[in-house]
Amino acid sequence: MTATNTTTARKLTGNIGAEITGIDLRSSISEIDAADLRDCLAKHQVIFLPDQHLDLEQQKALTSVFGPALQLPYVTPMDAEPEIIRVYRGAEEKGGVFGGDWHSDFSFLEVPPSGSVLNAHTLPPYGGDTLWASQAAAWDALPDALQDLLLGRDAIHVGKPYGVKWAPPVKEQSGAGIKMSRGDPTADEEMKHPAVLQNPVTGRRMLYLNPTYVTRLDGLSEAESAPLLDQIQRHVTRPEFCIRHPWKPGTIAVWDNLATQHYAVNDYQGHERLMYRTTFSGLSPRDMAALPDKAPRVAAE
Ligand SMILES: [Fe+2]
């Protein structure tokens, strides 16, 4: 990050994540700070801004720094706040948590969110961490044979958790903190995205795969794809490419949804947790397709 006012970025791991301090997001965000935040996000893929305690208007203002706010299908937003999802889990809720497996948000859409913003409000006394994995660092370290297999190839994404084919019964949602509109057959339609993207700002390449929504690689059957996708996913989620974030109230996280996968840890049953999530749009994965050649790799920084 370039020096502006007292804003500083501190890397949190070797491959992903930085903490940004010295900026008050409750005040209006200057253009120079906005540009720095965007640069930091492109460079670190997920950024954490502690002690912000933003209200919803301030969160929307921050979100607009990165791109136009998105209204997403399937997940019911807040009343009168169509751009904000109240990510709430009550102390009495059992079973899975929202986002409790590795995924990129809504990757099955033609234009998925470019990024997401999560605002920590109420936290359990322990647990409830979120992990992110860098699909850029994972690409850099991927064996040549797998890079050759993926460059120029599409992957098939399907919104199966939101569609009719795999949707859980509505009764399983009773009492849930997050409501979803199920039974939308369009969520079961296949969407092709390039398996490898290239960030237009940094030039850096990244995988664009995740086990929640990707069903197969184009040109291969699900059975043929499964062992390859499993192997790649184990690689992406190696600890070296991940960051695990223990939340504090008032912390804001912003992540590049096309360069990362994330995972909400389900280990705080009996306690409530409340976050507010916004998402923003940008280029489509198709617009960011990496060219099918072996151009020199771009260093992380
Ligand atoms: Fe998510």
- The full set of domain ranges for the chain reads 8-288
Q: Is the pLDDT of residue 2 over 50?
A: no
Could you tell me the distance, in angstroms and rounded to a whole number, from the CA of residue 103 to the centre of ligand 1?
A: 6
**Is 234 part of the annotated catalytic residue set?**
no
- Mean pLDDT in the chain? 90
User: What DSSP string runs through 177-221?
Assistant: SS-B----GGGGS-EEEESEEE-TTT--EEE---TTTEEEETTS-
Give the pLDDT mean for 114-143: 97
**Is 121 part of the annotated catalytic residue set?**
no
Q: Which of 105, 140, 154, 256 is catalytic?
A: 105
> What pLDDT digit, counting tens, does each position of 31-78 carry?
999 999 999 999 999 999 999 999 999 999 999 999 999 887 777 778
Q: Cα–Cα distances in Å, from 167 out to 93, 163, 164, 255?
A: 19, 6, 5, 27
pTM above 0.85, yes or no: yes
Q: How far apart are CA 221 and CA 216, in angstroms?
A: 6
Q: Is the pLDDT of residue 301 over 60?
A: no
Q: Is the pLDDT of residue 185 over 90?
A: no
Mean pLDDT is lowest, of 47-61, 135-149, 177-191, for: 177-191
Mean pLDDT is lowest, of 102-111, 173-182, 200-209, 220-229, for: 173-182
Could you tell me the distance, in angstroms and rounded to a whole number, from the CA of residue 275 to the centre of ligand 1?
A: 12
Could you tell me the distance, in angstroms and rounded to a whole number, from the CA of residue 134 to the centre of ligand 1?
A: 14
- What's residue 201's pLDDT? 83
**Is 103 part of the annotated catalytic residue set?**
yes
Q: Which of 44, 86, 89, 103 is catalytic?
A: 103
The CA-CA-CA angle for residues 66, 70, 71, to 5°, reads 160
Q: Name the residue with tokens 């960051």.
A: 243
Give the pLDDT mean for 185-202: 90
- What's residue 97's pLDDT? 73
Report whether CATH 3.60.130.10 matches the domain 8-288: yes
Identify the band that residue 26 occupies on the pLDDT scale cut at 50, 70 and 90. Answer: very high
Q: Name the residue with tokens 């994330």.
A: 262
Give the pLDDT mean for 239-266: 97
Could you tell me the distance, in angstroms and rounded to a whole number, from the CA of residue 290 to the centre of ligand 1?
A: 24
**Is 154 part of the annotated catalytic residue set?**
no
- What's residue 245's pLDDT? 98
Whole-number percent of the chain with pLDDT over 70? 89
Give the pLDDT mean for 78-104: 86
Q: Which two tokens stand for residue 193?
A: 């995205």
Identify the band that residue 5 occupies on the pLDDT scale cut at 50, 70 and 90. Answer: low
Q: How far apart are CA 69 and CA 125, in angstroms?
A: 31
